[in-house]
Amino acid sequence: MVQSQLLALLLLILVQETKGSSKSFPKHETRHLSEHKNIARCARFSPDGKFVATGSSDTSIKLFEVAKIKQMMLPDARDGPVRPVIRTFYDHLQPINDLDFHPQNTVLISGSKDNTIKFFDFSKMTAKRAFRVIQDTHNVRSVSFHPSGDFLLAGTDHPIPHLYDINTFQCYLSANAPEIDVNGAINQVRYSATGGMYVTASKDGTIRLWDGVTANCVRSIAGAHGTAEATSANFTKDQRFVLSSGKDSTVKLWEVGTGKLVKQYLGATHTQLRCQAVFNDTEEFVLSIDEPTNEIVIWDALTAEKVAKWPSNHIGAFRWLEHSPTEAAYVTCGTDRSIRFWKESL
Ligand SMILES: *[C@@H]1O[C@H](CO)[C@@H](O)[C@H](O)[C@H]1NC(C)=O
Ligand SMILES: *[C@@H]1O[C@H](CO)[C@@H](O)[C@H](O)[C@H]1NC(C)=O
């Protein structure tokens, strides 16, 4: 009797100690921002965190001003309803897969199932249509601007990333691309912070690292997500690690220099949709999606311990999670067509 009580006490202390070494994720408040006419599929913040854009199966793109979102979320918003959507762009023929902002100019790009990348100038109040179009040969699943703004990458159904010169629209392919089988479509492509490298997450489960200058594939992490699709990949700010997620229900952190697995974030199930795993702005937390419960799962990035699980507040599966690069705020997109904004409660 006494012994088992002692054991229970010891266990309690142990649990508290391991819990204590993980940081706790601050409480967030959430608000429904707007609705597309069909599934909301992707979101992206501008590099300065002032804007966020969302793309839908209804082929439209909405642009939100973050300051207006915050105004809308104030408890005593007085001057009537605030509308945070400042632009809506209609120009694609098929669903939008991904978006990115030009690093310096007021230009937003979109990659679509209609095999195009379109350029929108959001400084113009009334422009609804693209001012430039890149016609690719494949379904454009992912887009990423080079930090100089002079190049962009397209991840498509073709297994090799398409590198475009923004000024000439010429497309370059890697000269030493590895043999990739027919299942190698690219789900996501992302440049590192300096543009010195880029990373791809492929349907064949492989994470590949590419040299930003020569476009050579410098490392293949085969089976990074087993035989399941790798659905997202992005670098840490210091470019030393890559965070990836896959349909094998794992989120993994890889060391760029060696290709070694450094950490795994387990306990969220994602086997159906294009799941995203992202860091919070300080890279102290990892956020991802649990499909069966429709919850946001949060881990301490260092201890890999799960520290929070929150209902997404979407009706049915939520599809995309994007964190602000500058503050404690993120956006979720749902099958229910809606966009939700989340920010730390003060
Ligand atoms: C990717 O990681 C960088 C840090 O290297 C971050 O600034 C950026 O917001 C991330 N991009 C996306 C789309 O998550
Ligand atoms: C990221 O982590 C830091 C440290 O806990 C926190 O201050 C910040 O609010 C976090 N951002 C979030 C939760 O979006």
pLDDT of residue 38: 93
- Residue 243's DSSP bridge partners are 234, 253
Question: 43: pLDDT confidence band, cut at 50, 70 and 90?
Answer: very high
* pLDDT tens-place string over residues 83-116: 899 999 999 999 999 999 999 999 999 999 999 9
pLDDT of residue 321: 94
pLDDT of residue 174: 81
Sign, Cα dihedral of 332, 336, 338, 344: negative
Sign, Cα dihedral of 62, 298, 302, 228: negative
- Identify which of 44, 234, 274, 287 to mutate to test ligand 1's pocket (most ligand atoms within 8 A of the CB): 234
Q: Is pLDDT at 24 greater than 60 in this prediction?
A: yes
Residue 161 DSSP symbol: P
pLDDT of residue 11: 45
* pLDDT tens-place string over residues 231-288: 999 999 999 999 999 999 999 999 999 999 999 999 999 999 999 999 998 999 999 9
Domain boundaries, the chain: 26-275
Ligand with minimal distance to 43 CA: 1
Q: Is pLDDT at 329 greater than 80 in this prediction?
A: yes
Calpha distance 112→35 (Å, rounded): 19
pLDDT of residue 336: 92
Distance 102 CA to ligand 1 centre (A): 13
Distance 76 CA to ligand 1 centre (A): 33
Q: What percentage of residues in the chain have a pLDDT greater than 90?
A: 81
Count of alpha carbons within 13 angstroms of residue 273, beta-carbon side: 25
Q: Residue 245 is inside which H or E element, if any?
A: strand 241-246
pLDDT of residue 177: 76
Task: Name the residue with higher pLDDT: 324 or 9.
Answer: 324
Mean predicted confidence (pLDDT) in 70-75: 89
The token pair that represents 182 in the structure block: 């027919």
* Residue 336 near residue 315 (C-beta atoms within 8 A): yes
Neighbours of 267 (CB within 10 A): 16
Ligand 2 pocket, 210 CB below 6 A?
no
Mean predicted confidence (pLDDT) in 52-66: 96
Q: State the chain's mean pLDDT as an integer.
A: 91
Calpha distance 52→100 (Å, rounded): 10
pLDDT of residue 102: 98
Distance 188 CA to ligand 1 centre (A): 12
Distance 14 CA to ligand 2 centre (A): 26
Ligand 2 pocket, 284 CB below 6 A?
yes
Q: Is pLDDT at 6 greater than 70 in this prediction?
A: no
* pLDDT tens-place string over residues 174-227: 877 777 777 789 999 999 999 999 999 999 999 999 999 999 999 999 999 999
Q: Which atom of ligand 1 is nearest to the CA of 234?
A: 1
* 26-275 is classed CATH 2.130.10.10: yes
pTM across the whole model: 0.90
Ligand 2 pocket, 51 CB below 6 A?
no
